[in-house]
Chain A
Amino acid sequence: MLEFLARLFGREESSGKQAKERLRLVLVHDRASVSPHLLEMLRVDLLEVISKYMEVDEPGLEVNLEHEKDTVALVANIPIRRLKRQGSKVAH
């Protein structure tokens, strides 16, 4: 009963909602701890796409996941050597 009252007045979330919220957070981290292999594949793909528009310093390209409290951000550091001229992009 006390528990019910507490819930009614918004002091405590239901355990079902707590479960969902905790899962959401733990999965953000589980999913973000993707294998280095996946990150490497992403790095290669990114390089390919960006190279269509500008010249990238390949060995300097870094891709990482940065964990905050309840979010994860994909952070890429992409040093550019040279921008391609407008219109020089090859159509394919």
Chain B
Amino acid sequence: MPGRVLVITSGKGGVGKTTTTANLGTGLAIAGQKVCLVDADIGLRNLDVVMGLENRIVYDLVEVVEGNCKLRNALIKHKRNDNLFLLPAAQTREKDAVSPEQMKGLCEQLAAEFDFVLVDSPAGIEHGFRNAIAGADEAIIVTTPEVSAVRDADRIIGMLEAHELFSPKLIINRLRPEMVKRGDMMDVQDVIEILAIDLLGVVPDDQAVIVATNRGEPVVFDEKSLSAAAYRNIVGRILGEDIPQMDFEPESMLEKLRRLVPLRFSRRKAN
């Protein structure tokens, strides 16, 4: 059975597509899946540096598509995980160096070898976006809880439908619980209500993401950070596990309960 091809897209730039692709791909590989990350942002490649693989690039996606090298030779294996591969974008080429048909063929080839193919889409709704979605059978939409990002996400949902990619899943990125609490940021419910699509998960705004990116190691490797936990939950949901949404409220009842319940259990055991 061929693997699943997921495109990670957003419309608006800079909301976290590349970060999401890197972390979900890494998380899936840690979970034992064979994963290939595809950087479809031709001319503005970034997934390589976020993954810390920028020094290993020999060939790129455009060279594969043009037949100048074998697909196998362009794939870069991750240094910490043998299940994880990257197909880098070309840096010095135009976006139209590749056609949607070629991308479709490429994704099919990859899906024959991998359990998951994750395509990092460029911002915008033009040629690069159409390339990125061409070979995908599922779509993940990333947005931040801000007016312009959500508006663009809505536009993208419409465009995905027009390309017969139905029921995309939503990731709300960079949520700031303390701002939500004082009413200065839309909450998760607001965004879902507006976009009317299924929520895949929420990732908090987390300094650990930037630290991890500085090091070239996706934050999901960092066991302690909140964003890593969020990414691992999303990975579980992609794999079909039923994982409840995280609650980021600073001192909510649920958090308190969670902290108290195991305490009680241990006391009971001690008695």
Chain A residues at the B interface, C-beta cutoff of 8 Å: 7, 14-17, 19-20, 22-24, 26-27, 30-31
Contacts and interface: CB of A to CB of B under 8 A. Distances in A.
B190 interface: yes
A23 B190 CA distance: 10
A16 B147 contact: no
Contacts of A27: 151, 154, 194
B151 A16 contact: no
Contacts of A24: 194
B151 A17 contact: no
B158 A31 contact: yes
B103 to A, nearest CB: 24
Interface string B173-209: 0000001101111110010011000000000000000
A68 to B, nearest CB: 20
Interface of B: 146-147, 150-151, 154-155, 158, 179-180, 182-187, 190, 193-194
A interface SS class: helix
Contacts of B150: 23
B154 A30 contact: yes
23 contacts: A7-B183, A14-B182, A15-B185, A16-B179, A16-B180, A16-B183, A16-B185, A17-B183, A19-B146, A19-B185, A19-B190, A20-B186, A20-B190, A20-B193, A20-B194, A23-B150, A24-B194, A26-B147, A27-B194, A30-B151, A30-B154, A30-B155, A31-B158
Contacts of A23: 147, 150-151, 186, 194
A74 to B, nearest CB: 17
Contacts of A31: 154, 158
Contacts of B158: 31
A31 B150 CA distance: 13
Nearest to B183: A14
